[in-house]
A and B are shown apart, each in its own frame.
Chain A
Amino acid sequence: MSSMGTAPAAGISQAVASKKLGRRLLDAGLLIFAAVVMITFSLTSKYFLTPGNWINILLSVSIIGIIGVAMTLVIVSGGIDLSAASTMALVGSIQGVMVMKQGHPWWVALLVSLAVGLIIGLFNALVVTRLKIAPFIVTLAMSNIVRGAAYIYTTGNAIFLQSPRLEWFGVGRVLGIPVPVLLMLGAYLGMWAALRYTVFGRYVYAVGGNPVAARLAGINTDRYLTGVFAFSGLAAAVAGTVLTGLTATAMPSVGVGYELDVVTAVLLGGASLRGGEGSIWGTLFGVMIIGVLNNGMALLSVPPFWQILAKGVLLLGAVSLDALRKR
């Protein structure tokens, strides 16, 4: 009996301690991973650490960064929005066609396209809340519907956009800082405040954490979900405007797979697909990791097929991280 007393007990408490350490390492692991990526790229590419390249990185993450703000909200609410990238493409297409083919003023095109993004979000919300279908399926279907609509609307052709006003959203600068970067940082600040200081933000956490308990506390859960998806549609439209401006092109095929980059970023940032957890600064961190990785792989001329594979691995890693944190 006494043989079991001390030695194995020490082993057990060591095991407990190492488990805790492991969890901490898991979080630190992300930072280490980011550092390793940075060092590797800066050693292997002489362009990586140049200021010009960093503006490139910030600019390139501004698209998934802006969608990431909304995706964080959606994932905290317990859902997911896979239609964001397609919405972006449709929004750009609408702007291109309306301005270049139909001769509408730029602001009409902008308002209409933003409204379309909002309506897509509202439609997602309607199906999710009324028919109680999982957001994953609803927005997956919606993604194809919207993408198809973009192709039909543009007859599949890219349109060169010649509208300095609209392009300003992509290439303009204020005080030397690119407009997309400003939009993105503004969105993060705004969402941070909204999640932390508003009734809306708190209730989105509650609805995502336990929808039944939220409802039984008198919260109109459908209303909050509607707000969440509508915001997501709108944010995708803003991202679409930025993207169209950046490239001065409206392309119905643009941004395929972006939504998965965004989901990866949000999960890397500590949100849980089960809802009720996530932080906006975590997402920004995740977005930066993705941006640096994309940028670095491009600089190193990693073949595109390998880039796709690498991002798949990263998404799987992010999901595993979410699962491991729950252990």
Chain B
Amino acid sequence: MPVSYHGEEMCPVDPVIRLSTARISKAFGATQALNQIDFDLRVGEIHALLGENGAGKSTFIKILAGDYSADQGEITYDGKPVRLQSPSDSRNLGIRVIYQEFNLVPTMSVAENICLGSYPPGRLPATINITEMKRLAQEVLGRLGEEIPIQTLVRNLTVAQQQVVEIAKALLCQPTVLIMDEPTSALNDQETEHLFALLRSLRDRGVSIIYISHRIDELFKLANRVTVLRDGVTVGTVDIGAATRATLVQMMVGRELAEMYPKRSIAPGQVLLEVKGLSAAGNKVRDVSFQVRRGEIVAIFGLLGAGQSELARTLFGAIPAASGHVLLDGQPITLHSTTAARAAGIGLVPEDRKTGGLVGQLGVKANLTLAALPRYARCGMVRTGLEMREATEWADRLNVKRASMSQPIRFLSGGNQQKVVIARWLANQSRVLVLDQPTRGVDVGAKVEIYRLLEDLCEQGVGVVIISIEMPEVLGIADHIYVMCQGRMVGPYSRTEATKHKLMSCAVGIEGE
């Protein structure tokens, strides 16, 4: 980071309040999403907003962004009451939000994206001053100390670079308040560090930042204060210096969290799934071999985009295999389609629930029985009573919180949605379950439930393959760990022999074999 700044010389955090809310409430139908939220944001601070999924964080920032209007309560900006009825009200105050899903136009250049919505006018009416636009984009990137060629199309950038473009876009209008929704969920450690340095420098220039995250650990490196939400209520606001990991977790979940990762003592059985020299069309998976025993959890670690998601999809028949063999119980199986994989007893929990896992228009029951439906049918006719019984049983066993079995799945929280997708494969009695980042965007409580569930599955002799980019998760739950880097795989390492350092070296390709 070329930004020259020395923290020690700066004055301490200014105690002036920039933005505050009092008694903000918001209900959707019968659900009280927010209940009397009090919150304040100082000038030049990074204020973290922490809470499980469904705690109300998203609703709260959408109110600040003017996307939703609060049912009651008041918002004050620089001491004056304001009404945020629309996104433009909020923008005019200098509040900018960077959502988890970026709002960039992939087919436009970096400069065009940065200036999108506020193009400098050219000499003729309805024209753009392209020279000025490029200058502006260059200038704002320079302020960030970033070097991204402004002519590059956004679709050719890495996720981390795209995020920088989002930040640059927000900074173009000199915002006073920057809200970031889980910005690190798609970044690796190095990119995360880089982002933090950038946010700190913005803070030190007086920008107030609301930072939403699931990752408690990173808050200690970044935030000044933390406000915890739970079930739509503010649990409390603490200075980060006065907080510990344990206290924050307890505030979030409202209960003592037992061991995060289950301590398993199941002796893995015979080899269940064997993959030999598997390569996928598109060259994203090259010559991969590994094996999974009955009752074993195998983790595949790697940086984002190392080919692990493609491997998962190849195993499930969604991407054609170019070469290699897959054996289930010693019998070779062909995975020419997802239907074949399903029939063979393989299940896939895809990386992106919303686009790959759920059918949003359908209810909890229909999503849960999506894979197993033929099991509940005779001659193509669904035995609806049986389907309902089985689906309800699975939903209860996995503790899926829902209003009813026919509630549209999109109204469930991330963790509960994920449990439905997992239950889908349990209902189909899958023997091998491939989970692609199953705990991404899932709150701590649901995370633990998912780990426990995987443990139960192992006890029943299922083979579990979990793809993860989170090191603690990999080290916490796997019996054996493989690492992928640029489509190739190394390993296995047993849980005892794997170290953070070793796995990361493999993941970045320094160490192999």
Contact = CB atoms under 8 A, between A and B. Distances in A.
Contact of A1 (B22, B318, B373): B22
A129 to B, nearest CB: 13
A290 to B, nearest CB: 25
B350 A209 contact: no
Given A213-B355, A276-B362, A197 B22 contact: no
Contacts of A213: 350, 355-359, 370
A16 interface: yes
B337 interface: yes
A218 interface: yes
B274 interface: no
Interface string B304-318: 000000000100101
Interface stretch (A33-41, A179-187, A200-208): A200-208
A2 B80 CA distance: 10
Contact of A206 (B83, B350, B370): B370
Please classify the interface of chain B as helix (H, G, I), strand (E, B), loop, or mixed, using the class held by over half of its residues: mixed
A4 B370 contact: no
A218 B355 CA distance: 15
Given A4-B83, A8-B83, A210-B358, A216 B338 contact: yes
A277 B360 CA distance: 10
B244 interface: no
Contact of A205 (B339, B350, B366, B380): B366
B130 interface: no
A98 to B, nearest CB: 34
Interface string B394-405: 000000000000
B360 A216 contact: no
A216 B348 CA distance: 7
B381 A202 contact: no
Interface in A151-199: 197-199
B101 to A, nearest CB: 16
Given A199-B377, A217-B342, A276-B362, A4 B74 contact: yes
B73 A9 contact: yes
B339 A210 contact: no
Contacts of A12: 69-72
A203 B373 contact: yes
B384 A197 contact: yes
B81 A4 contact: yes
Given A12-B69, A197-B384, A198-B380, A216 B359 contact: no
Contacts, number: 107
A220 B339 contact: yes
A50 interface: no
Residue in A210, A213, A277 with the greatest tally of chain B CB atoms within 10 Å: A213
Interface string A260-287: 0000000000000000110000000000
Given A199-B373, A206-B362, A276-B361, A13 B337 contact: no
A281 to B, nearest CB: 18
A16 B33 CA distance: 15
B338 A210 contact: no
B286 interface: no
Contacts of A15: 69
Interface string B346-372: 001010000111111110001000110
A214 interface: yes
Contacts of A217: 338, 342, 370-371, 424
A325 interface: no
A212 B370 contact: no
Contacts of A206: 359, 362, 366, 370
B382 A197 contact: yes
A24 interface: no
Contact of B361 (A3, A205, A212, A215): A205
A221 to B, nearest CB: 9
A5 interface: yes
Given A215-B338, A216-B316, A16 B358 contact: no
A219 interface: yes
Contacts of A13: 71-72
A259 B83 CA distance: 48
Interface string B326-349: 000000000001110111000010
B72 A202 contact: no
A197 B359 CA distance: 18
A3 B357 contact: no
Contacts of B382: 197-199, 202
Interface in A213-268: 213-220
A217 B421 CA distance: 9
Nearest to A193: B381
Nearest 10 pairs between A and B by C-beta? A218-B342, A9-B72, A209-B359, A276-B361, A4-B74, A217-B370, A209-B361, A210-B359, A220-B339, A4-B81
Interface of B: 22, 69-76, 81, 83, 313, 316, 318, 337-339, 341-343, 348, 350, 355-362, 366, 370-371, 373-374, 377, 380-382, 384, 424, 428
20 contacts: A1-B81, A4-B83, A8-B83, A12-B71, A15-B69, A197-B382, A197-B384, A198-B377, A199-B380, A199-B382, A202-B366, A209-B360, A210-B358, A213-B357, A213-B359, A216-B356, A217-B338, A217-B424, A220-B337, A276-B359
Given A202-B373, A203-B373, 11 more contacts: A4-B83, A12-B69, A12-B70, A199-B377, A199-B382, A206-B370, A209-B359, A214-B370, A217-B342, A219-B339, A220-B337
